[in-house]
Amino acid sequence: MQTNNMTHSLRCAFLSWLVVLYPILKVAFTEEEDVDGTEAANFSCAVYSYTLKAPSMNCTWNAGRTAPHDTQYFLYLKYYKEEEKECPHYIPDKRGRHIGCYFPNVTVNEKKVTLTVNGSSIESPVKKHKNITLLYELEKIGPPQNITVTCEMSSNCIVEWKAPPTSRREVRESNSCLSYQIKDEIRNTTDTIQSTSKNYPKNVRYKLRIRTDDKSKCPVAGKFGEWSEPIEFGTDPTSFHPTLLLLAVVITTLGILLLFCICKRCHTWEKLHGPIPQPKDIYLQCEKNAEKAWMDLISTAAANEKITVVEEVTANCEKHEPHP
């Protein structure tokens, strides 16, 4: 009886341990069974900062090379000592499979975060992709803002701008830590400066783009920022100014009109060139010649007919003349 009780107790203890260890063993064996090449590939994220709202983050990836056709991916973000949050806005491909996601609001600080892409499939297990990083290292700096060009009455033009928005408080409070690249697209040259303004000669044509340099002293990612839209200013000494060109056209037109009026008033054109004879109408001349020939023919016929009549009358007169 005592042996049976001991056996029953051992059996209960074994079942209890099995219930506790089953989830752990399942996860361990599942990870071992994950097939290489099924996890999300080419995973990358970029954080974008704005002036009037919190930063956002875009993440993209490709399906694994050996992932089953029914594989679906899900992205999770976990802050330090917080629970995982699933990405709310997925980007699907033509098959409906998730290949990207958008976080409208993220918190950027000096604490590391964990980005995990899980996969699910009925055909086979899908290996997860995990990335532990700092969000500010993923930040993509935008172009400088409020770029203005002021050309004074003197011979200089000054180009000014403001630092691009960033999630780093140190950068927002101290703009001097950023350095900038200025590219002259006409001369294909690039300058690097620390300030947010630069002077240029007024009598030279410029087409510039500006971006943050990758060697800035600020605690931001060591990457180049985005280029600004091109700005054009200055004048080209070898070309006519539009106002001067318009003035030249107006003066030339007025000169031609004035010359035409003078020539018309003084009859200069008639003096230089005599009257131009009009070309003869060949067909009309032929008709007139034909009409004249026809009239001459009628006149000749009428004359001959008259002579014949006269002859006949004369003959008759001679015939009936009484003898003396």
pLDDT digits (tens, 9 = 90+) for 88-120: 999 999 989 999 999 999 998 889 999 999 999
Statement to judge: residues 40 and 134 lie in one domain: yes
Residues of the chain with pLDDT under 70: 1-34, 170, 172-176, 215-222, 237-245, 264-324
Residue 314 is predicted with a pLDDT of 45
Domains identified in the chain, total number: 3
Assess if residue 54 is contained within a domain.
Answer: yes
**125 and 41, same domain (yes or no):** yes
Does residue 29 lie within any of the structural domains? no
Please identify which residue in the block is written with the tokens 């839209």: 229
pLDDT for res 318: 46
Which domain range does residue 178 map to?
145-233
Q: Are 130 and 115 in contact (CB under 8 A)?
A: yes
185 and 216 housed in the same domain? yes
Does residue 250 share a domain with residue 220? Answer: no
- Write out pLDDT tens, residues 39-69: 999 999 999 988 788 899 999 999 999 999 9
- Nearest alpha-carbon partner for 59 in 166, 119, 120, 131: 131
Q: In sequence order, what are the beta bridge partners of 131?
A: 115
CA–CA separation, 64 and 125 (whole Å): 12
Residues 184, 255, single domain; the answer is no
- Residues 134, 74 within the same domain: yes
- Asked if residue 17 is part of any domain, the answer here is no
Centre a 10 Å sphere on the Cβ of residue 223 and count the other Cβ atoms it contains. 14
Domain boundary among 233, 260, 285: 233
The answer to the question of residue 311 being in a domain is no
Distance CA 233, CA 201 (A): 10
Would 38 be classed as within a structural domain? yes
Question: How confident is the model at residue 183, as a pLDDT?
Answer: 97
Q: Give dist(CA 232, CA 125) in Å, integer.
A: 57
Q: In sequence order, what DSSP letters do the residues of 184-195 get, joined into one string?
A: ETTTTEEEEESS
Q: Clarify whether residues 194 and 246 are in a common domain.
A: no
The predicted structure's pLDDT at residue 112: 94
Joined together, the tokens standing for residue 234 give 């200055």
Distance between CA 118 and CA 109 in Å, rounded? Answer: 25
Q: Which residue has the tokens 């003084």?
A: 266
Q: What is the CATH number of the domain that holds 61?
A: 2.60.40.10
For the record, the structure tokens of 308 come out as: 């014949």
In a domain, 158, yes or no: yes
pLDDT for the residue 137:
87
Q: Within this chain, do residues 38 and 115 fall inside the same structural domain, yes or no?
A: yes
**Shared-domain flag, residues 126 and 152:** no
Pair (39, 130) in one structural domain:
yes
Tell me which of 172, 203, 233 is where a domain ends.
Answer: 233
Distance CA 73, CA 118 (A): 6
Contacts of 132 (CB under 8 A, 6+ apart): 112, 113, 114, 115
| Residue 131: per-residue pLDDT | 95
What whole-number distance in Å separates Cα of residue 222 and Cα of residue 214? 5
Q: Are residues 39 and 113 in the same domain?
A: yes
Shared-domain flag, residues 67 and 38: yes
**C-beta neighbour count of 316 within 10 angstroms:** 10
pTM above 0.85, yes or no: no
Boundary (domain end) residue, out of 182, 210, 233: 233
What's the full length of the chain, in residues? 324
Is 161 domain-assigned? yes
Domain assignment present for 115: yes
Cβ-Cβ contacts under 8 Å for 214 (sequence gap 6 or more): 222, 223, 224
Residue 53 has what pLDDT? 86
